[in-house]
Structure 1
Amino acid sequence: MTVTHATFTLERTYPVPPSRVFAAWADAAAKARWFVPDGTHELDFRVGGVETVGATGPDGTALAVTSTYHDIVPEQRIVYSTTLSGGKALATVSITTVELAEDGEGARLVLTEQGTFLDGAEEPAWREQGTGDWLDRLGEALR
């Protein structure tokens, strides 16, 4: 039984205003296109709302992700907590803060995640890589 704690911060600049980045996060259909390329996705984007993702891991394990939104400031900030389970085992619990700001004619996004990784089921580096990948897909969707 092991517990690993880790925090990472990722930054991206997108060539659109913060309102467009926020809208891509808040609209269920738009978010599904960049956030969940394979799997199921449901989004209730409001404080107290829940987002769920069902997918399959590389080894065929069923993955279940559940996020709850705790703070939403339109076009500025999103704070949510997430659990990730593989099969029936809880793998991670995390809290994520997304900050948006104007950056010239575009938007700067800063995402900070603080995670608790349980029993080696997921590694912090894997989560950071995966999060970076979907932030890159968000950038492609915004172009």
Structure 2
Amino acid sequence: MAETRHDTFTIERRYPHSPEKVFAAISSPELKPKWFAVGRNASDFSIDFRVGGREHQLFTMGDDTPFPGTIIENDGRYEDIVPNERIVHSSTMTLGGRRISSALITYEVAPAGDGARLRVTHQAVFYEGADGPDMRKHGWEVLVDNLSEVLDA
């Protein structure tokens, strides 16, 4: 019988930037690769930012990873967008051509004092051979920290 694992986690960060600036960094085809693809060998990173639009990423894992030369592909769709407030994105990940997970990711941006609060909720099902919830959460924590560097630039 096929094995699946389900998991949900939420990561929250506060940034000393306006909600509009944070939202732009998450949604912009020019800015998102600067925090989402840091340290990855991306051969494709395309964003069609609109409800129903597609987001696609293709990465080759480096020699310093457990699977050097292996292709990771993320293929997703924007399900809901409320400008400067919310993005809901569905995504499927493959590793070496094998589907390893499907996820629903919700970004919520809100004013917080003189800046903004970002809440990222990741709901996923992990299939056989997947990285699993702990590694995925760690990866997202690194991503939202990378976002801070892009916002501060």
Q: Which TM bucket (shorter chain)?
A: over 0.9
User: SS state of the match for residue 30, structure 2?
Assistant: helix
Aligned Cα RMSD in Å?
0.9
Give 1:70-85 correspondences, 5 Å limit.
70-85=79-94
Runs of at least 4 residues off by over 2 Å: none
Q: 2:106 matched to which residue of 1?
A: 97
Q: 2:46 matched to which residue of 1?
A: 42
Give 1:1-143 correspondences, 5 Å limit.
1-37=2-38, 38=40, 39=42, 40-57=44-61, 58=65, 59-60=67-68, 61-143=70-152
Q: Structure 1 unaligned runs (5+)? A: none
In the TM superposition, what is the alpha-carbon distance from 1:56 to its structure 2 partner? 2.1
Q: Distance in 2 between matches of 1:87 and 1:120?
A: 11
- Normalization by structure 2: what TM-score? 0.90
Q: Distance in 2 between matches of 1:73 and 1:49?
A: 14
Q: Distance in 2 between matches of 1:83 and 1:7?
A: 15
What is the aligned-residue identity percentage?
39
Q: Structure 2 unaligned runs (5+)? A: none
User: SS state of the match for residue 22, structure 1?
Assistant: helix
User: SS state of the match for residue 13, structure 1?
Assistant: strand
User: SS state of the match for residue 19, structure 1?
Assistant: helix
Deviations, residues 39-76 of structure 1 (Å, cap 9, x unaligned):
13111111001111111232121100011000000110
- Equivalent position amino acid for 1:54 in 2: L
